[in-house]
Every structure is written in structure tokens, then in C-alpha cells.
């Protein structure tokens, strides 16, 4: 509980520091809205050109797109210490400083940065979810709301776990391993669309290796009333646990990797 208080206190301080330059913050947030809004426009153009993608309607596509954006950018906003360039922390010797403090390395890493500019991206995702829900005529119930928030929260853990893969490689290699971005940023781009529209190889990649489909698409399909692959309703609450499992595994690997850390001497 003390660690949670420390995290929120750190986020409050970091947010206050960001707000010291309000004009800069506003302009950067607007730029984020414009960039992410451009991606949303691409989806809208696709929907305008095609009435449906497989059995997914325009509203379904917008809803899934919005859920993916909300999940990813919430993680980038509040987990920037992990999703940022961790290799730079190692190269500068900053990780040595963290090891001298009486707190866990992961906690300190998570608390060292915030990116409130992502609020603009999150707002685009929220707009897409609202438009998609209206077009798909979703009848919200308590269980559907529960599935929605569970998907968002456990999806954030999944994304943090995937970024931890890059962190682990950085500890061993000192430099950032760009290929990991195929699972993080590449996964975000690919999984803005339903998983069953992709070939078998990509379906396996995003259901087993980086299980975005389990944490996002299964609950989204349940909410939309189109169960993925005809799976029963309870899978909408069970499958997102894959995000927590992957995060836990990567966290253990991160702790193990720290034992082999060697300072750069910077």
C-alpha cells in the first residue's frame, strides 16, 4: 500500500512539473490529438469504403480501435518510466543511482516519468469507443462494463510486460533492441483491428506471444455480442488474465536480469 501511495505522489509531482509550462503542454497535447486523429481518419475512410470487414461492422471496428488506443496510451501516460528509453538510463549511469535508494528498481523506474500529453491520444480513443458503441447499438450491462474495464486494466499490464522485454534486453546489451517494437508499437497498430481478419501466423503471434487478442479482442467481441470464434461468454473475463500472467513472468525475468547488471561507468 505504501508503494501505491509513493507512485501516486510521484505522478502528482511529475504532473505539476509538466504544468509549469502550460502553453507548451497544450500545444503538444493538440499535436498528439492531430496525429492520433489522423489514424482515426484512416479507420473512418476504411469504414466509408467498405461496409464491413468479415463479420465486423463499422461500429465494431471503431469500438475495437478505441479500446486499443485507450489501453495503449494510458500505459504510455502513466508507465512512461518503463515504456520510455530505458537504455538511456543505463548508458547515463542513472540506473546506478536507483540502486542506491531504499526502494525496488521497478517501482522507482515506474515513478520516474509521466507523459500527460497522451491525454490527447486517450481522448481520441474515448471518442472512437463512444462512436463505435452508438453505431453498434451496444446495450450496456454491468457485466459488459466489468469486461470493458478488466480488459483496459489487464491490457495495460500486458503492454507493460511487453515493454519489460526491451528493458531486459537493454540490461544485457546496454543498447535498446528495436525489434521488440514489433510486439509493442507493431502490436498496437495490428490489433486495432479484429484478430480474425489476419492470417494464421499473425493470429498465433498476437494470441500466444503477445496476447493482445486475448486481453482486448475477446472481451470486445463479448461486449459487441459477437463472441470471437464462438467462445462462451465466460472467456471474456478469463482470457484477459493472460496480460497479468505475461507481466508477472516478465517482472520475474526483469528481477533476474538485474543480478547480471554491469555499470557503464558513466
Each residue of 91-149: pLDDT tens digit? 777 787 878 877 788 888 887 877 888 888 899 999 999 999 998 899 999 999 999 99
Q: Is the CB of residue 61 less than 8 Å from the CB of residue 132?
A: yes
- The two beta strands, 56-57 and 52-53, are antiparallel
Mean pLDDT highest for which of 48-52, 99-103, 166-170, 248-252? Answer: 248-252
* Residue among 236, 257, 265 nearest 67 (CA): 236
SS3 181: helix
Cβ neighbors of 209 (< 8 A, separation 6 or more) are 183
Residue 266 has pLDDT above 60, yes or no: no
pLDDT attached to residue 228: 86
Do 131 and 41 contact (CB within 8 A), yes or no?
no
Query: Which whole number is the average pLDDT over 212-227?
Result: 93
Q: What's the CA gap between 76 and 83, in Å, rounded?
A: 6
- When pLDDT is averaged across residues 20-27 and rounded to a whole number, the result is 81
Helix (H, G, I), strand (E, B) or coil at 187: helix
Q: Which pLDDT value is given to residue 245? A: 95
Most confident of 85-89, 179-183, 241-245: 241-245
Residue 56 pairs with which residues in a beta bridge? 53
> How far lies 192's CA from each of 49, 90, 130, in Å?
18, 32, 16
CA dihedral 29, 35, 38, 42 (to 10 degrees): -130
Question: How does residue 1 score in pLDDT terms, banded at 50, 70 and 90?
Answer: low
The continuous run of DSSP H or E covering 218 comes out as helix 218-224
Show the cell assigned to 252: 520475474
Ordered DSSP codes for 23-66 = HHHHHHHHHHHHHHHHHHHHHHHHHHH-SEETTEEHHHHHHHHH
Q: How many CB atoms lie within 10 A of CB 96?
A: 15
What is residue 247's predicted lDDT score, i.e. its pLDDT? 95
Please give the sequence-ordered ranges of beta strands (E in DSSP) within the chain, or none if there are none: 52-53, 56-57
The whole-angstrom separation of Cα 97 and Cα 171 is 15
- pTM score > 0.85 for this model? yes
- The three-point CA angle 183-163-148 to 5° equals 80
Amino acid at each position: 500500500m505504501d508503494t501505491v501511495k509513493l507512485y501516486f505522489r510521484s505522478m502528482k509531482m511529475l504532473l505539476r512539473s509538466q504544468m509549469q509550462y502550460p502553453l507548451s503542454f497544450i500545444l503538444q497535447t493538440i499535436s498528439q490529438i492531430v496525429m492520433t486523429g489522423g489514424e482515426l481518419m484512416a479507420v473512418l475512410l476504411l469504414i466509408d469504403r467498405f461496409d464491413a470487414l468479415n463479420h465486423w461492422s463499422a461500429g465494431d471496428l471503431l469500438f475495437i480501435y478505441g479500446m486499443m488506443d485507450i489501453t495503449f496510451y494510458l500505459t504510455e501516460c502513466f508507465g512512461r518510466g518503463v515504456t520510455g528509453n530505458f537504455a538511456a538510463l543505463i548508458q547515463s549511469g542513472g540506473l546506478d543511482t536507483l540502486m542506491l535508494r531504499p526502494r525496488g528498481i521497478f517501482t522507482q523506474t515506474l515513478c520516474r516519468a509521466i507523459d500527460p500529453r497522451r491525454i490527447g491520444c486517450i481522448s481520441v480513443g474515448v471518442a472512437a469507443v463512444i462512436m463505435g458503441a452508438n453505431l453498434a447499438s451496444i446495450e450496456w450491462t454491468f457485466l459488459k462494463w466489468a469486461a470493458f474495464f478488466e480488459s483496459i486494466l489487464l491490457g495495460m499490464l500486458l503492454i507493460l510486460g511487453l515493454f519489460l522485454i526491451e528493458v531486459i534486453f537493454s540490461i544485457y546489451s546496454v543498447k535498446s533492441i528495436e525489434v521488440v517494437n514489433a510486439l509493442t508499437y507493431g502490436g498496437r497498430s495490428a490489433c486495432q483491428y479484429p484478430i480474425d481478419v489476419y492470417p494464421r501466423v499473425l493470429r498465433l503471434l498476437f494470441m500466444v506471444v503477445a496476447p493482445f487478442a486475448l486481453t482486448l479482442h475477446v472481451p470486445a467481441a463479448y461486449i459487441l455480442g459477437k463472441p470471437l470464434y464462438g467462445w462462451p461468454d465466460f472467456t471474456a473475463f478469463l482470457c484477459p488474465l493472460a496480460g497479468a500472467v505475461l507481466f508477472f513472468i516478465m517482472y520475474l525475468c526483469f528481477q533476474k536480469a538485474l543480478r547480471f547488471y554491469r555499470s557503464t561507468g558513466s
